[in-house]
Amino acid sequence: MVHVRGRSRRRLSVAALLCYRPGHTPRLIYRPRADPRHDGRKSFAWTDYRDLRQAAHQQLGGNMVLVWDNLNTHLAAGMRSYIADRDRLTAHQLPSYAPDLHPVEGIWSVLRRTTLANRAFADPQELITAVRRGLRQLQYRNDVLDGCLRGTGLSWPHHDDITH
Whether residue 78 contacts residue 93, with contact meaning beta carbons closer than 8 Å, is answered with no
> What pLDDT does residue 162 have?
39
Scored b (16 or more CB within 10 A) or e, 74-85 reads bebeebeebbee
36 pLDDT exceeds 80? Answer: no
Strands (E), the chain: 13-19, 27-33, 64-68, 89-93
User: pLDDT digits over 112-159, tens only?
Assistant: 999 999 988 888 788 889 999 999 999 999 999 999 988 888 766 544
> What pLDDT does residue 41 have?
67
What are the residue ranges of helices labelled H in 73-123? Answer: 77-84, 103-113
pTM of the shown model: 0.78
50 pLDDT exceeds 90? Answer: yes
Mean pLDDT, residues 71-100 taken together? 89
Domain ranges of the chain: 13-161
Class of domain 13-161: alpha beta
Average pLDDT, the chain: 83
90 pLDDT exceeds 70? Answer: yes
Q: Which residue has the higher pLDDT, 25 or 96?
A: 25
